[in-house]
Amino acid sequence: MYECYVQTKEDVIKEVLKLLKDGDKVSCGGSMTLFETGIVEYLRNGKYNYLDRYDKSISPEKTNDLLREALLCDTYFTSSNAITENGELLNIDRVGNRVAAMIFGPKSVIVIAGYNKIVPDIKTAYDRIKNIAAPANAKRFELDIPCAKTGKCMECESSSKVCSYTTVIGYQIPAKKDRIKVIIVGEELGY
């Protein structure tokens, strides 16, 4: 797996430039980290065929089409809810488009994560996701579910919950060994 460390969020785009070609079809998963590092705004610069899921002028149906089309893009940008010291990427997703793209589809996946998402092991990763990332996202989406109110997972059965799909990516087969690229940033970013 390609791994890289950059000191600040301002250094992220310099690293990303090494991994993209002009004209590439690119997309991204839902991620506050991508906004904080300027990636979303950068992808809108016209050098790339950016499938902009955040474009407020398009309909929900068109947004859904873009989420599906993202599975066939050249490069997919995302973050991770937690990264273990052994390099496992753990994620909980509401819709599933982000974790699906991380697992299969796009030719390349670039994961950008702040150092705050690094945890010792899988158990700690689940704790971090359930008690930091998922409640913060539920609150951001203004969902009327228990974790948005309490700030921690209540193991709810709500149809609006943000934790519909859980994945652990721990290994890439040799033929795909550099498909997922991880850029760790020496700052706290995202949830």
Structural domain contains residue 151:
no
Structural domain contains residue 158:
no
Confidence at residue 173, expressed as pLDDT on a 0 to 100 scale: 84
Structural domain contains residue 30:
yes
Structural domain contains residue 159:
no
Structural domain contains residue 14:
yes
Let me know: does 127 contact 93? Beta carbons within 8 Å.
no
- What's 94's domain CATH number? 3.40.50.10420
Rg (CA), the chain: 16
pLDDT tens for the chain, 191 residues: list them.
788 999 999 999 999 999 999 999 999 999 999 999 999 999 999 999 999 999 999 999 999 999 999 999 999 999 999 999 999 999 999 999 999 999 999 999 999 999 999 999 999 999 999 999 999 989 998 999 989 999 888 888 888 888 889 999 998 888 888 899 999 999 999 99
Confidence at residue 84, expressed as pLDDT on a 0 to 100 scale: 97
Structural domain contains residue 53:
yes
The residue segments making up the domain with residue 76 are: 2-118+164-185
- What is the domain count for the chain? 1
CA angle 24, 28, 31 (to 5 degrees): 150
Structural domain contains residue 135:
no
- Whose tokens are 């969020």? That residue is 9
Structural domain contains residue 136:
no
Q: Kindly report the pTM of this predicted structure.
A: 0.94
